[in-house]
């Protein structure tokens, strides 16, 4: 784990400038969630609007929304593909993201262009440098 100030960054994941993380699984699918920075900036999460399973997304599309006492924030698709699973636990317990942002994934995507799109994402060190610049 890398720490930048009060924020933790999990190594081995890929990151976006919009503060989403991507974990590539052994079967080639990916889990997507929001970073420690994002959940701390939002504050206590009250609601996660999960997308429909089967939804096709292009990289950069709005994947879903997370709602906190402070704001509603959009979560963007870090890779293109099909949503094949959503984390149903978050419907009743959105605070799981606050408790463990790297354990509480939001969606699982079957990517359509993974290799190329991963090159456009940041690794943990690059994301740490990005956070330091904010």
Q: Work out the average pLDDT over 101-115.
A: 98
> Given pLDDT bands bounded at 50, 70 and 90, which one contains residue 70?
confident
Q: Which two tokens stand for residue 134?
A: 């904010």
pTM of the model: 0.96
pLDDT reported for residue 25: 98
Q: How far apart are CA 124 and CA 83, in angstroms?
A: 24
The four Cα atoms 110, 113, 115, 116 give a dihedral, to 10 degrees, of: -150
Q: What is the per-residue DSSP string for 37-86?
A: HHHHHH-SEEEEEPPPTT-EE-TTSEEEEEEESS-EEEEE-SS-EEEEEE
Q: Work out the average pLDDT over 79-97.
A: 97
């Amino acid at each position: 784990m890398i720490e930048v100030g009060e924020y933790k960054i999990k190594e081995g994941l890929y990151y976006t400038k919009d503060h989403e993380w991507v974990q590539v699984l052994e079967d080639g699918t990916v889990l997507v969630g929001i970073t420690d920075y994002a959940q701390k900036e939002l504050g206590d999460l009250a609601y996660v609007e999960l997308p429909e399973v089967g939804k096709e997304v292009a990289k950069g599309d709005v994947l879903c929304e997370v709602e906190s006492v402070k704001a509603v924030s959009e979560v963007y698709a870090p890779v293109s593909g099909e949503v094949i699973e959503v984390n149903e636990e978050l419907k009743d317990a959105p605070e799981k993201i606050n408790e463990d942002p790297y354990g509480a994934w939001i969606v699982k995507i079957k990517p359509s262009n993974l290799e190329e799109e991963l090159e456009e994402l940041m690794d943990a060190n690059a994301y740490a440098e990005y956070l330091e610049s904010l």
